[in-house]
A = this chain, B = another copy of it.
Amino acid sequence: MFEAKLENAALLKKIVESIKDLVTDAPFDCSENAMCLQAMDSSHVALVSLKLEVGLFDTYRCDRTINLGISLKNMSNALKCANNDDGCMIKYEENEGDSITFTFTDTKRDKTQDVTVKMMDIDGEHLGIPDQDYAIVCEMPAAEFQKTCKDLAMFSDSLNITATKSGIVFSGKGDSGGINVTYAPNSNADDEKESVSLEVNEPVNVNFSIKYMNSFTKATTLSSRVRISLSNDVPIVIEYPIEEAGYLRFYLAPKIDDEDNME
Contacts and interface: CB of A to CB of B under 8 A. Distances in A.
A147 to B, nearest CB: 8
B194 A109 contact: yes
A117 B177 contact: yes
A26 to B, nearest CB: 15
A233 interface: no
Contact of A116 (B112, B118, B178): B178
Interface residues of A, number: 39
Given A118-B176, A176-B117, A178-B116, A196 B77 contact: no
A104 to B, nearest CB: 9
Task: Give the oligomeric copy count.
Answer: 3
Given A80-B151, A110-B196, A154-B77, A176 B115 contact: no
A111 B183 contact: yes
Interface of A: 71, 74, 77-78, 80-81, 99, 108-118, 141, 144, 151, 154-155, 175-186, 189, 191, 194, 196
Contacts of A194: 108-109
Given A77-B176, A176-B71, A144 B181 contact: no
21 contacts: A74-B176, A74-B177, A77-B154, A78-B177, A80-B151, A108-B194, A109-B141, A109-B196, A110-B186, A110-B189, A111-B144, A111-B181, A111-B182, A111-B184, A112-B182, A114-B180, A114-B182, A115-B178, A115-B179, A116-B177, A116-B179
